[in-house]
């Protein structure tokens, strides 16, 4: 990797884990492109937070489920900065219902963003990442925990986990790593939504460390994979405090 400032694109970078990932990569000296899908205000808040801490960030909008919009997103990054070195795929949606109650439209929504969106961003990243670059996808520990009501979500993230090592092998000779981070129960609005307190309390004690994960825990793993971890490739890193 050269001494030039590295450029990082974080999809879904305006909320939850994505926001903390964006601020962490900026703290590590990267210029961060904070992607958002609809409302620009949260993304602009992240960019202002980064700038206030002495970092550099811009915001860009795109529907990552549409191939042309994804190409335009990467075009815009290249036009502004000359290229891209790190892509972090945090954009996603989670809808929790038992299999017998999950509406097919909700399933389609998760598959469209979590699988199709991740695939399209990974595809374009594979075409454009510069030597020394890194693609980091987001999977989930729930794939191993097999918690009730998570079937649709876990299935969508299992697809991302399967994609990751195959793409790593397809990029042989490019000096680009492809890995996934699989958080366990993490204290975000995404996690708390719709859960009764007793479920939250139970899940917070599931890990041997007896707490929920924090977005910063996932961001720490991303920073490792985006920077010094050049010999970690094609892997899923489970960031869950030892819950499994």
Annotated active-site residue 153? The verdict is: yes
Alpha carbon separation from 2 to 6, 131, 132 (Å, rounded): 9, 10, 8
Backbone angles phi, psi at 65, to 5 degrees: -90, 0
Contacts of residue 163, Cβ cutoff 8 Å, sequence gap at least 6: 118, 119, 122, 137
Catalytic residue among 138, 153, 191, 238: 153
What is the rounded distance in angstroms from the CA atom of residue 101 to the CA atom of residue 87? 35
* Nearest Cα to Cα of residue 243 among 199, 203, 215: 203
Which residues face 11 on adjacent strands? 89
Active site residues: 153
């Amino acid at each position: 990797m050269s001494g030039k400032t590295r450029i990082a694109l974080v999809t879904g970078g305006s909320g939850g884990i994505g926001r903390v990932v964006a601020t962490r990569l900026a703290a590590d000296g990267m210029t961060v492109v904070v992607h958002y899908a609809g409302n620009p205000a949260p993304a602009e808040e992240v960019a202002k937070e980064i700038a206030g801490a002495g970092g550099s960030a811009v915001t860009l909008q795109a529907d990552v489920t549409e191939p042309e919009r994804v190409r335009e997103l990467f075009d815009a990054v290249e036009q502004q900065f000359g290229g891209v070195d790190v892509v972090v795929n945090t954009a996603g949606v989670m809808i929790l219902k038992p299999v017998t109650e999950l509406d097919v439209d909700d399933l389609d929504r998760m598959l469209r963003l979590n699988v199709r969106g991740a695939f399209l961003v990974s595809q374009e990243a594979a075409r454009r990442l510069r030597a020394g670059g890194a693609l980091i996808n987001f999977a989930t520990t729930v794939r191993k925990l097999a918690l009730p009501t998570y079937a649709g979500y876990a299935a969508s993230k299992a697809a991302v986990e399967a994609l990751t090592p195959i793409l790593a092998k397809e990029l042989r000779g490019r000096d680009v790593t492809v890995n996934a981070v699989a958080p366990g129960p993490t204290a975000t609005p995404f996690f708390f939504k719709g859960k009764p307190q007793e479920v939250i309390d139970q899940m917070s004690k599931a890990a041997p460390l007896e707490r929920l994960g924090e977005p910063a825990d996932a961001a720490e793993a991303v920073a490792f994979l985006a920077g010094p971890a050049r010999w970690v490739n094609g892997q899923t890193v489970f960031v869950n405090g030892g819950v499994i």
